[in-house]
Amino acid sequence: MIVSARTTEVVGDGRQVTGLRYEDRTSGEIRDLDVAGIFVQIGLLPNTVWLKDTVALSKFGEIVIDDHGRTNVPGVFAAGDATTVPYKQIIIATGDGAKAALGAFDHLIRTSVPQPLAA
């Protein structure tokens, strides 16, 4: 496992990935690593500061949800990488979006609708 590394370049031969060039953040040295493929991870911190004091956030700033995508605020649902789901991948976020949408639909059909005010 390589730690304290900053990727600077994905190296290839015109057909496929052949290596990765990175900077060792401790020494500043540029190093090359031969690889047959890469897995890209973009960002580790969710962009949820704007939700502070609105919905419950984990100690990592993730939106706390249940298995249906519900937050601690009734009628507010969340999905994707900004939530407490354990794996942050687009395919998982897509499925969780569908779950949250179904959870929101279920909430709407089971919650009484306020009656309009009399004129």
pTM given for the model: 0.63
Same domain for 30 and 53?
no
At 112 the pLDDT is 74
Q: Mapped to the 3 state alphabet, what secondary structure does the chain carry?
A: CCCCEEEEEEEECCCCEEEEEEEECCCCCEEEEECCCCCCCCCCCCCCHHHCCCCCECCCCCECCCCCCECCCCCCECCCCCECCCCCCHHHHHHHHHHHHHHHHHHHHHCCCCCCCCC
At 1 the pLDDT is 85
Same domain for 10 and 56?
no
On whether residue 72 sits in a domain, the answer given is: yes
On whether residue 44 sits in a domain, the answer given is: no
At 13 the pLDDT is 95
On whether residue 102 sits in a domain, the answer given is: yes
At 87 the pLDDT is 85
Q: Can you give the CATH number for the domain in which 106 is found?
A: 3.50.50.60
Same domain for 96 and 60?
yes
Residues of the chain with pLDDT under 50: none
At 105 the pLDDT is 94
At 90 the pLDDT is 83
